[in-house]
Each structure stands twice: as C-alpha cells, then as structure tokens.
Amino acid sequence: MSASCTWAYWRDDVLAKVGVLSGLNMQRVCDRKKRVVFAYEFASLFLGLLPTSYANALAYAGGLVAFIFSPNKRRLVADNLRRASNGDRGSFKGNILALRGYFSYARYWVEALALGGQSRRELNARMGFYGFEHVYEALGHGKGLIFTTPHLGNWDFGAAWLSSGGHPITAVMEELEPRELFDWFAAHRVTFGVHAIPASAAAFGELAKTVGRNQVVALVADRDIANSGVKLPFFGEVTSLPQGVALLSLRTGAPIIPAAVYMLPGGCHYVVAMKPITFARSGSLREDVSRLTGLLTERYESLIRADPAQWHLFQPNWPSQSRTGDSPSTKQSRSRVMRHGTD
C-alpha cells in the first residue's frame, strides 16, 4: 500500500483537518439555499479524513445501493456500457458491467471530493503513467496544450497530479445554482491546481488566452449536453458530439492530447496520454471541425473500450434512447450532476 494510504499518514492528516471540520458554520445547515453547498463541503472534509481503503469501501457500498434502487437508470447504464464493450444487450454480463459502472462512478465522486492539499510525492505514490513524453513534446511548440478526455476514470485526480508537477490547468465548468455551489466547486479545484471557469460566452476567449501563454487546458468532451455539436457516429450510432476542442485547436494551433486516467485497485491510478494531434486547416472551418472531432471521437472510443466500466455515462446519449420521460427540470438536474467534474 502506498505511503498516502497508511495509518500514519491518516493520523497526521486528521490532526490537521479535524479543526477545519469542527469549524464549519452550522448556521448554514438551516439556510435552505446553502444546504447542498454545506453537504458537499462536509463530504469533502469527511472523506479527506478517511484512509483510501475506507473511502473506497464507502464508495462501493454507495454504488451498490444506487444500483439496487435505480432500476430505470440501471437499464440505461447497462445499455450505454454494452455499446462500448460490444456486449449482448440484456445479458447477465451486461448487468454486471453496469454494476461495475456504478462502483466506478461512486469511487470517482469520493476521490474527487477528497482531493486537495496533497503533495507531489503523495500523488506520485498513487499514479503511474504512459506517454507523458507527449506533454513535453506538445508544450515544446509554444502553443499550449489541450488535454481532452471522455467522462472516464478520474480526470480530477489526473489534473491534480499534472498540476503538482508544475503544469497548472484551466478547465471549463458548468454554471451551477445556487451560485455558491459553483463557487465552492471552483474553490475546491483550486486546492489541487485547477482553475475552473464558467461555461459562458467568455469561456472560449479565456481558454484561447491560456494556450496562448503555453499553458494547459483540460476539457471533458464526449457528451454534448446542449445538442449543438457535430453529428458523428459514436459506438455505432450517430449522435451529437461537442465541437469546442476541435474549434479551440483550429483557432489557436494548440495540439490536442486525448488521455484517460484509469482507476486501479488500492486507490491507485494510471494515466494514458496519446500522441498529440495537430490538424492542418483545409480552408473550410466547418468541415475541419467535423473532421477533427471525428478523429477525437475515434480516440475516445479507444480509451473507453480499454475499460468500459469506468465510463461515467448515466444519461441518454443517442437518438434511439428515449428522452420522453424527462421533464425540463430533470434534464437540467441531470446535466448539472454530470458536469460537476472537470469539464
């Protein structure tokens, strides 16, 4: 077990954090608008106190409960993951894959909330990597770097690890209600080196400035929540995919590295960084965006197929999946939950 997972580390960490936990303003619990913010803050502090093995056990228990008591969502997740694994829909193996998906998503949330304040040494003890030389190669061109990933594994842990090595990250995060919730998530990400900006009209300009300073942008880009992207085949069916990554690269010349941070047993992780993609303009921006997004989609499929159970897709994503049962408020809530990650 790594040094960050030992009881000695946990004991020392408790002494540092218990004072913060006891200092929470309990009056906020009675403020209806701020209860959800308090819940996230409390969960973050509490999970940060637990040894990794205990936190993972809690995540698996929560994932099992969610799997059992959400039959409709369970069927949707099984369908989504079977597409990625080329499995037989309706099979027993498909349901087992869905259960693993619930475990994976619960672990993501537990780990993401517990992040913050870890040293480079502590993060290194839980991280292996492949292809990191591509980062130096891409940044060597002086045009910045765009990391892009599907909702796969734990991208927040990867961002914390990369930032601890001297590469601060700028990411886009959906504006949340209440505003205090967005502010809390943004401040939480600052603790592990991620500057989160709201997904607004000004976001593209901020990202362009970031890569212009030869810095790193990270975008989670396998789901087009607004349904305003590029229509392309994705795991055998045409659907809408975000075009922001391709557009940013074409506008700025920044290379793109598709990557994934897979979760391994024992609280460890393994990042896979693919070769940088640079794309020469052909004259038609619309066609170039479509072609480049198609290349990225192929990379996403490859990364997801390596471990489909770690793909956190709990929403309808293809036209053939019915959305008729969703009210507007349900759709809005659903998108908020999935966009709390570093996207």
- Which tens digits make up the pLDDT trace of 264-281? 999 999 999 999 998 888
Q: Which tens digit of pLDDT belongs to each residue from 26-54?
A: 555 556 567 889 999 999 999 999 999 99
Strand-pair category, 145-149 with 216-220? parallel
CA dist 223 → 116, 160, 324 (Å): 27, 23, 19
- Element (H or E) spanning 270, and its range? strand 269-273
Asked if residues 301 and 235 have their Cβ atoms less than 8 Å apart, the reply is yes
Q: Is the four-CA dihedral 109, 114, 120, 125 of positive or negative sign?
A: negative
pLDDT at residue 339 tops 60: no
Alpha carbons 213 and 77: distance in angstroms, whole number: 40
Is pLDDT above 70 for 173? yes
Percent of the chain surpassing pLDDT 90: 73
pLDDT in tens, 148-169: 999 999 999 999 999 999 999 9
Q: Could you tell me the pLDDT band of residue 112, with boundaries at 50, 70 and 90?
A: very high
* Residue 338 in this model has a pLDDT that exceeds 50: no
Phi, psi at 151, each rounded to 5°: -75, 75
pLDDT bin (cut points 50, 70, 90) of residue 283 is confident
Q: Where residue 341 falls among pLDDT bands split at 50, 70, 90?
A: very low
Better-predicted residue by pLDDT, 323 or 224: 224
Q: pTM for this structure?
A: 0.85
Q: Is the dihedral of CA 268, 274, 278, 284 positive or negative?
A: negative
Q: Report, as an integer, the average pLDDT of 1-23.
A: 47
pLDDT value at 303 more than 60? yes
Cα 238 to Cα 181: distance, rounded to the nearest angstrom: 34
Q: In this structure, what token pair is assigned to residue 156?
A: 């927040």
The whole-chain average pLDDT of the chain stands at 86
pLDDT at 11 over 50: no
d(CA 23, CA 78): 42
Cα–Cα distance list, 29 to 33, 37, 39 (Å): 9, 9, 9
Does the N-terminal peptide bond of residue 178 adopt cis geometry, omega within 30 degrees of 0? yes
pLDDT classification of 225: cutoffs 50, 70, 90 = confident
Whole-number pLDDT of residue 24: 52
- In contact, 271 and 259? CB cutoff 8 Å: yes
Distance between CA 308 and CA 66 in Å, rounded? 19
Residue 118's alpha-carbon distances to 4, 59, 74, 111, 192, in angstroms, are: 9, 20, 34, 12, 8
